[in-house]
Amino acid sequence: MSIKTVREELPLTKDVLLEHFYAVVVTMAPQEASVVTGMFAHLTTDKLMTLLGNRQLLEEKILEAVETIERYRCSHGNYHNL
C-alpha cells in the first residue's frame, strides 16, 4: 500500500504511519523491526510521512538505525535482543 493510498483511505494518525513504517522495516530487518520502529516513534507525523513518501531515504534511515543497534550491542557485549 502506498502512502498516497494511506492518505486516501485512513486518517493519518501516528499509529497508522508507524504501522506502515514497521511493514517496511520488517522486510529489511525482521529481527530488529520493533526496535527500529520504536527508534522512529518520536518523529512527528509530517516527518514520518516524508520518510514513507521517499523510499530511498526511508531505507537509508532504517539501515542507519540497524547499524546503531549493532554498534550498541557490540560495545555492550549484548549480541541478542536489547
Domain ranges of the chain: 3-76
In this prediction, residue 22 carries a pLDDT of: 97
What CATH code is assigned to 3-76? 1.10.1900.10
Tell the burial category of 53 from Cβ atoms under 10 Å away from its Cβ (0-12, 13-18, 19+): middle
pLDDT in tens, 33-75: 999 999 999 999 999 999 999 999 999 999 999 999 999 989 8
Whole-model pTM: value is 0.77
